[in-house]
C-alpha cells in the first residue's frame, strides 16, 4: 500500500509552493481512495473499506490535512511552503492509517460517515490574520476560506483581521458565513477593509453585515476600520440583531459624534454586555453622551474602555453617571481625555459603588489635586482587591499625597502603581513610599518618574520596594536626583539592579540647579529626616 508520503515523493513535481493546486488535491483524494479500498499489507491487518466509504473518508482526510498544514503555513511561513507540504503529507498518512485501523465500523452499524468519524483534533478557531498584510480578492478568498466551507466543520470563532477584503472576496465569503450562522459565537472583522475606496469599503461591510445578521454572537470586533457614521450604519443589520452580545470592540474607528449616535441607535439594550472598548476615536462630549446611554443600558458591564476619545467635562460627567449603574465593573480605562476636576469629582461618586474594581486607569484627565483627592478617598473605601492604579499626568502635587497614600496603604492587592508625570516632589513621594512599606507582597511595578523628586524621596522609595517578593520595576527616571542619590539608590538595589529602571533622563542639576551642590543635598537629607516617621493618615 502506498502512503500519502510516497504519493508526494512520486509526484513531487506537481507541488512547487504552498498551497497545492486543486488538481493536486484531487489527485491525493483519488490516491487515498484507492489505498483505502484495495488490498495491501495494511488492509490484510485492518480490513478494507467500500469504494463509497473510502472516497468519503479520503475527502474528509484531505480537508483536515489541508486545514492543519495551511494554519501551520499562516503561523510560520517559510517562503516556499515546503514545511506545510510535508505536514500536509504527514497528516494525510496518519489519518488514513487511523481510518483503516477503525475499519468499516460506520457502515456495519448503519452510521452515515461524517468528519467526526475521523479521529482528529476538531478546530474551533479559524484565523487568517497571520502573515503579511494584504488585499484579498475573490480567487484567493476561495482558497483562504475553504476550511470554513467544509460541511460539518466545528469553527465557532473566526478572525479576518489584517486582510483587506474587496467586493469579490466579500461575495465569496457571504454564502460561507450564512452557512455558519448557527455555530458562530465570536467574529473579528477588525482591520479588514484597509486601503479600500470608501464606496467599496461600505459595500463590503454591508455584505458581511447581512451575511452575519442573526448570528448569536458573544464577541464582535469591528476595530481599526475607520468606519465613521457610514461604516457604523453599514453594520446595521448585524448590530441590531445582537441581543446576546457580551463583548464589543469599536477601537480606532473614527467614531465622531454622529457615529456614536448611530452606535447608540443600533446596539440593542442588553443585559449581557460585559466588555465595551471604545479607544482612540473622535467622540467628543456629545458623542460621549450617546455612548453613556449604551453604558447605562448595560448593567452587566465589567470592562469599559473609553480612552483617547476627546471627551471633556460634560461628556465625562455623563459617562460617570452611567457607570454608576454598572456595579459589576472590574476594569475601567478612561485615559487621555479632558475630564477636568468637576468630572473627576463626579467619577469619584460613581466609583464608590464599585466594590469589584481591580484595574483603574485614570491618567491624563486633568484631575488636579481636588479631583485626585476625591478619587483616592472614594477608592480607599471601595475596591478592596484593586490591583492596578494609574493616575499619571494629572498635575497632582504633594497636597493630594496624604489622600493618595491612605488609599494605597489600604490596597494590599496592588501590583502596579503609576503616578508618573505629576508634581509630588519629595514630600509626596515619601508619603507614597511609607504607604507601600507594610505588606503589598503582590506589588510588581511603581512608576514615579517625572515628579521633581530628589535624593531623599528616591532613597525612601527604593527602600520601600526593594524587598517585595514579586517586585519587577521601580521607575524614578526624569527626576532631580543628585549623583550621590543615584549612588545610594543603586547600592540599595545592588543585588537586583535589573529591577531599577533606567535613569538616563534624570537631571542631577534639578530645575534650578539646587540638587547639584552640597547644600542642596543637605536640604534633601533634612526633609527626609522630618518625613521619615510620618504616619499615613486615615482621614484627609
pLDDT in tens, 141-192: 999 999 999 988 999 999 999 999 999 999 999 999 999 999 999 999 999 9
Nearest to 500 by CA among 454, 463, 537: 463
pLDDT in the model for residue 43: 52
Work out the pLDDT band at 116, boundaries 50, 70, 90: very low
- Domain 396-508 fold: 3.80.10
Which carries the bigger pLDDT value, residue 18 or residue 386? 386
Is the pLDDT at 295 greater than 90? The verdict is yes
pLDDT in tens, 38-90: 765 555 555 667 777 778 888 888 888 888 877 777 666 766 677 777 778 87
Section 391-400 average pLDDT:
98
Cα distance between residue 307 and residue 66, in whole Å: 42
Section 526-537 average pLDDT:
40
SS (H, E, C) 148-211: HHCCCCCCCEEECCCEEECHHHHHHHHHHHHHCCCCCCEEECCCCCCCCCHHHHHHHHHHHHHH
Asked if 92 and 32 count as a contact pair (C-beta separation under 8 A), the reply is yes
Where do the structural domains in the chain lie, given as residue ranges?
A: 22-102, 396-508
Residue 134 bridge partners (DSSP): 163
Q: Which CATH entry fits the domain spanning 22-102: 2.60.450.10, 3.40.30.10, 1.10.246.200, 1.10.3720.10?
A: 1.10.246.200
pLDDT in the model for residue 388: 98
Residue where the block lists cell 460627567:
317
Residue where the block lists cell 515546503:
82
Share of the chain above pLDDT 90, in %: 68
Q: What is the CA radius of gyration of the chain?
A: 30
Residue where the block lists cell 454598572:
326
Is the pLDDT at 528 greater than 80? The verdict is no
Is the pLDDT at 410 greater than 50? The verdict is yes
pLDDT in tens, 90-108: 778 777 777 766 665 443 3
pLDDT in the model for residue 132: 79
Cα distance between residue 330 and residue 347, in whole Å: 15
Mean pLDDT for all residues in the chain: 86
Is the pLDDT at 301 greater than 70? The verdict is yes
Amino acid at each position: 500500500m502506498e502512503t500519502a508520503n510516497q504519493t508526494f515523493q512520486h509526484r513531487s513535481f506537481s507541488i512547487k509552493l504552498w498551497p497545492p493546486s486543486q488538481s493536486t488535491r484531487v489527485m491525493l483524494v483519488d490516491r487515498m481512495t484507492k489505498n483505502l479500498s484495495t488490498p495491501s499489507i495494511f488492509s490484510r491487518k485492518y480490513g478494507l473499506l467500500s469504494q463509497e466509504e473510502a472516497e468519503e473518508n479520503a475527502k474528509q482526510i484531505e480537508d483536515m490535512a489541508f486545514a492543519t498544514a495551511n494554519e501551520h503555513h499562516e503561523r510560520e511561513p517559510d517562503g516556499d511552503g515546503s514545511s506545510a507540504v510535508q505536514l500536509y503529507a504527514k497528516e494525510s498518512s496518519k489519518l488514513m492509517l487511523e481510518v483503516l485501523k477503525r475499519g468499516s465500523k460506520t457502515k456495519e452499524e448503519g452510521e452515515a460517515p461524517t468528519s467526526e468519524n475521523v479521529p482528529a483534533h476538531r478546530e474551533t478557531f479559524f484565523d487568517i490574520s497571520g502573515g503579511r498584510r494584504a488585499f484579498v480578492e475573490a480567487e484567493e478568498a476561495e482558497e483562504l476560506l475553504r476550511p470554513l466551507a467544509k460541511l460539518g466543520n466545528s469553527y465557532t470563532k473566526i478572525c479576518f483581521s489584517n486582510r483587506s477584503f474587496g467586493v469579490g472576496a466579500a461575495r465569496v465569503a457571504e454564502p460561507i458565513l450564512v452557512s455558519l450562522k448557527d455555530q458562530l459565537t465570536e467574529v473579528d472583522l477588525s482591520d479588514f477593509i484597509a486601503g479600500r475606496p470608501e464606496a467599496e469599503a461600505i459595500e463590503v461591510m454591508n455584505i458581511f453585515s447581512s451575511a452575519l445578521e442573526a448570528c448569536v454572537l458573544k464577541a464582535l470586533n469591528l476595530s481599526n476600520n475607520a468606519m465613521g457614521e457610514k461604516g457604523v450604519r453599514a453594520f446595521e443589520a448585524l448590530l441590531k440583531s445582537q441581543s446576546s452580545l457580551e463583548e464589543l470592540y469599536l477601537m480606532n474607528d473614527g467614531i465622531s459624534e454622529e457615529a456614536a449616535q448611530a452606535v447608540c441607535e443600533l446596539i440593542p439594550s442588553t443585559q449581557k454586555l460585559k466588555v465595551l472598548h471604545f479607544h482612540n476615536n473622535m467622540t467628543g462630549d456629545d458623542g460621549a453622551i450617546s455612548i453613556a446611554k449604551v453604558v447605562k443600558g448595560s448593567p452587566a458591564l465589567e470592562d469599559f474602555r473609553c480612552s483617547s476619545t476627546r471627551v471633556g467635562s460634560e461628556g465625562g460627567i455623563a459617562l460617570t453617571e452611567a457607570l454608576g449603574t454598572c456595579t459589576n465593573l472590574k476594569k475601567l480605562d478612561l485615559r487621555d481625555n479632558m475630564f477636568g476636576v468637576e468630572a473627576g469629582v463626579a467619577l469619584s461618586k460613581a466609583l464608590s459603588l464599585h466594590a469589584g474594581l481591580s484595574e483603574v486607569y485614570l491618567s491624563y484627565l486633568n484631575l488636579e489635586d481636588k479631583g485626585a483627592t476625591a478619587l483616592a478617598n472614594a477608592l480607599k473605601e471601595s475596591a478592596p482587591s484593586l490591583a492596578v492604579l494609574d493616575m499619571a499626568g494629572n498635575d497632582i502635587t504633594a497636597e493630594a499625597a496624604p489622600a493618595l497614600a491612605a488609599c494605597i496603604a489600604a490596597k494590599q492587592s496592588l501590583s502596579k502603581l503609576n503616578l508618573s508625570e505629576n508634581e509630588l516632589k519629595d514630600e509626596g513621594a515619601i508619603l507614597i513610599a511609607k504607604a507601600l512599606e507594610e505588606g503589598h507582597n503582590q506589588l510588581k511595578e511603581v512608576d514615579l518618574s517625572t515628579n521633581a523628586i530628589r535624593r531623599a524621596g528616591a532613597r525612601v522609595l527604593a527602600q520601600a520596594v526593594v524587598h517585595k517578593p514579586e517586585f519587577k520595576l521601580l521607575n524614578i527616571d526624569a527626576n532631580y536626583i543628585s549623583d550621590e542619590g543615584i549612588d545610594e539608590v543603586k547600592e540599595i538595589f545592588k543585588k537586583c539592579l535589573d529591577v531599577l529602571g533606567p535613569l538616563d533622563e534624570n537631571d542631577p542639576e534639578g530645575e534650578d540647579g539646587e540638587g547639584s551642590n552640597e547644600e542642596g543635598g543637605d536640604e534633601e537629607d533634612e526633609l527626609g529626616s522630618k518625613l521619615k516617621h510620618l504616619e499615613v493618615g486615615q482621614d484627609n
